[in-house]
Amino acid sequence: MATDTESVELVGDESTRNLARAVLFAAVTSATAPVDLVHPLVPNVPITLQTLWVFLAGVVLGPLWAGVSFVLYAVGGVVGLPVFAGGASGLGVVLGPTGGFVVGFPVAAAAVGLVAHGPGSLTAPGDIPLPRLVAAMVVGSAAIYAFGAVGFSLVQGIGLAAAVSTVVLPFLPVGAVKVAIAAAVTRSDAIVAR
């Protein structure tokens, strides 16, 4: 029995390339996760580079693959890879006070991609109008902060308003800096989406 395999394409080149780029973003996010700073007002919630990578993934990969990238990142951390803030890992992190942020990363990355590119095909990152780019990152930030505040509220057993004043408001200036950095990187020649 002969089988004709010449016309069978198991995985397309574009899907393979997108998956590789999603894995790359997950890996870079993981590699920079141990780099965290103590916030002077909220010492138990670190300042990390993770949200910067969420923004850039959304801009470069678009909604689907950016979301996939951060699902891979979260799953890696849950199964024991030291990819969360400070090099932590395990399900306990996701179920802990800051776990809502991790849960929010895939949603935020997809939201950034959707707002930046729209529902159609991807735009070259450098061609996304600056107001749209900033709006995409603000929406992504809002998603991260929403998930983070709800998670913190539930785990700590405090009201949502108290959680927002603890884990959102003190981080808004840092978040604005990350948006500015991501926009500057996007506008530079450092990112090429091919």
Inter-axis angle of helices 99-117 and 130-156, nearest 10: 160
- Can you give the pTM of this predicted structure? 0.87
| Block mean pLDDT (10 aa), the chain, length 194 | 55 82 90 80 78 94 94 95 90 94 96 92 89 96 96 96 93 92 85 52
Domain residues of the chain, as ranges? 18-187
pLDDT at 69: 95
pLDDT score recorded for residue 187: 86
Yes or no: is domain 18-187 CATH 3.90.1640.10? no
pLDDT of residue 9: 55
Looking at residue 13, its pLDDT comes to: 82
User: How far apart are alpha carbons 180 and 174 in whole angstroms?
Assistant: 10
